[in-house]
Structure 1
Amino acid sequence: MKTHFKTIVISDVHLGTKGSKAKEVARFLKQYSCDNLIMNGDIIDGWQLKKSGSWKRKHTRFFNRMLKMIEQDNTKVYYLRGNHDDFLDQILPLEIGNLSILADMIYESNGKKYFITHGDIFDSITTNLRWIAYLGDMGYTFLLWLNRLVNYHRRKRGLPYFSLSQYVKGKVKSAVSYIDQYEEELAKMAKSKGCDGIICGHIHKAENREIEGIEYLNSGDWVETMSALAEDFEGNWQLIYYNEIDFRQQKESKEVIDEIKTELDYTEFKTVAFNKLPDDHNPPHFL
């Protein structure tokens, strides 16, 4: 049985890049169902797609999974724009059935109000000095490339995964200071809006803590951390890490059949024969 949550929040999937863990996030959304799915920015990486990124079938499968959640579970999906998918500015706000595309939103649950935003609007570098933001993005992309190389050799030696970019961010004082300031400023913004908490992404650092009486919730990312926020029906939030999920509890055989059906997406196959078929021949139909 799937675990069903009231709300799941994911962010920073960066579809269109080599570092995106598209298969993992799609598998995660097979494991869990929810009433509300909030995709909090940088789901599609428009910046990389303009440069050297490429769109793969696995990236499309993520949206197939999202659509299946809408169809099968009647999930309400909210896609909030981030700085890497800022092309959405041209169409938002937009609502089509259970799908809403927004800049940000107020989420109310169990007597509490949460301001939900990707977080880049509070990043003065990204907002005011866009060329520096692009330069920082190039540096992070390089770190991810180097990280893949480092971990390739670590796997060959039987060593566990090592996040180079997280290590660098943890060692560079200016990066640590920036993250602390970022979290504090977002908490202040939530308070100014009369909210009890803030839900964000952007900095690829999952977090669930209290800052001066405000719940600060960051869903992390699906490039390295592979994490999401989940709210139960009593209003309790938790961070779920993909690497800590026991997928053996799933009914794997049923999911394999469902995936094959999705991939084929046929209702019938044409019959091919070298000899003339009898008049009463009925070709097989696949439902």
Structure 2
Amino acid sequence: MKTQFKTIVVSDVHLGTKGSKAKEIARFLKQYNCENLILNGDIIDGWQLKKSGSWKRKHTRFFNRILKMIENHNTKVYYLRGNHDDFLDQILPFQMGNLSIQKDMIYESHGKKYFITHGDVFDSITTNLRWIAYLGDIGYTFLLWLNSVVNHYRIKRGLPYFSLSQYVKGKVKSAVSYIDQYEEELSKMARAKGCDGIICGHIHKPENRIIDGIEYMNSGDWVETMSALAEDHEGNWQLIYYNEINFKEAKDDSLNQFFIGKAEAPVIPMREVSFEALKDDLEPPAFTSIL
């Protein structure tokens, strides 16, 4: 798989929190180039920053990396508002050069239309009962802290990383039911808007599957799963997991290409996802805000 993509989607970075993998996502974006970068909500965690969160240098470096993508590769960046960065409501919509900040958008590519939204708008708990959402946020933060303690001892014993929060969500029937309903409702929304698919985040569960004929894709998060969605220049979408990228092999391959004088981009092995080939379409993607 090549390092050049048409579009990359990331969400739920939660900058300002202890659990944010800011260094990892900056390293990830340094390896991959794209024409369009979509930051699909909860990039900055305003909720935690108001309480006990803190802004660190590594969080600033994330935005420095994005600025370099704009400057060096002319990448178009779309920052979509999430529930944890709802402070952006005060400036929506915003456009400056290659940077656009908006609520949601429709992305057109290779004859297909995708509705892209963070996903919290379909979460009745977050939109209607804010105090319950904050309470759930506190519980999730505690699980992340406990998860770090558990994995500290697992690493000492040579055991692989274990996601406690994902385990808990997988065992609680109400959580499983909520996720299923969430995915189905978003797929219905995409169909209602005349789109072929929907791209979201919010629930921290990466996914790429078909639901009743609609392509449902979730980019996951950069707190635990460290995943992103990427579209190649043929219109094929796939999930990329940071932990499955062999950075050493990519670096060695890049050096080999330099010495033998080949112009091809370095190759980074990643998780393969099956998909159907789409017809070629030379027309550039079109973007439309849904406000």
When normalised by structure 1's length, the TM-score is: 0.87
What residue number does 2:27 align with?
27
Paired residue secondary structure (1:217):
strand
- Letter aligned with residue 242 of structure 2: Y
Query: For 2:121 and 2:248, how far apart are their aligned partners in 1?
Result: 40
What residue number does 1:145 align with?
145
Query: For 2:160 and 2:219, how far apart are their aligned partners in 1?
Result: 23
Paired residue secondary structure (2:217):
strand
What residue number does 1:130 align with?
130
What residue number does 1:63 align with?
63
Larger radius of gyration: 1
Tell me which of the two structures has the higher relative contact order, counting C-alpha pairs closer than 8 angstroms and 6 or more residues apart: 2
Query: For 2:2 and 2:71, how far apart are their aligned partners in 1?
Result: 16
What residue number does 2:230 align with?
230
- Residues 52-79 of structure 1: CA distance to partner in whole angstroms, max 9, x if unpaired? 0000000000000000000000000000
8 A contact 1:2–1:33 mirrored in 2: no
| Off by >3 Å, runs of 4+ in structure 1 | 249-252
8 A contact 1:122–1:186 mirrored in 2: yes
Query: For 1:59 and 1:76, how far apart are their aligned partners in 2?
Result: 20
What residue number does 1:39 align with?
39
Tell me by how many angstroms 1:246 deviates.
1.1
What residue number does 1:197 align with?
197
Paired residue secondary structure (1:5):
strand
What residue number does 2:75 align with?
75
Tell me by how many angstroms 1:2 deviates.
6.6
Query: For 1:72 and 1:246, how far apart are their aligned partners in 2?
Result: 24
8 A contact 1:80–1:101 mirrored in 2: yes
What residue number does 1:259 align with?
none
- Residues 95-123 of structure 1: CA distance to partner in whole angstroms, max 9, x if unpaired? 00000000000000000000000000000
8 A contact 1:36–1:76 mirrored in 2: yes
Query: For 2:156 and 2:56, how far apart are their aligned partners in 1?
Result: 27
Q: Percent identity?
A: 85
Tell me by how many angstroms 1:159 deviates.
1.1
- Residues 201-256 of structure 1: CA distance to partner in whole angstroms, max 9, x if unpaired? 0000000000000000000000000000000011100000000001113448x99x
Query: For 1:85 and 1:172, how far apart are their aligned partners in 2?
Result: 28
Query: For 1:181 and 1:139, how far apart are their aligned partners in 2?
Result: 22
Tell me by how many angstroms 1:137 deviates.
0.3
Matches within 5 A, 1:171-190: 171-190=171-190
Tell me by how many angstroms 1:47 deviates.
0.2
Paired residue secondary structure (2:84):
coil
Query: For 1:102 and 1:63, how far apart are their aligned partners in 2?
Result: 17
Query: For 1:239 and 1:251, how far apart are their aligned partners in 2?
Result: 21
- Letter aligned with residue 75 of structure 1: T
- Letter aligned with residue 246 of structure 1: N
Paired residue secondary structure (1:35):
strand
Query: For 1:77 and 1:67, how far apart are their aligned partners in 2?
Result: 9
Q: Does 2:111 align with 1:105?
A: no
Query: For 1:244 and 1:251, how far apart are their aligned partners in 2?
Result: 15
- Cα root mean square deviation, aligned: 1.4
What residue number does 2:161 align with?
161
8 A contact 1:12–1:223 mirrored in 2: yes
Query: For 1:158 and 1:249, how far apart are their aligned partners in 2?
Result: 23
Query: For 1:61 and 1:250, how far apart are their aligned partners in 2?
Result: 22
Query: For 2:218 and 2:23, how far apart are their aligned partners in 1?
Result: 22
- Letter aligned with residue 144 of structure 1: L
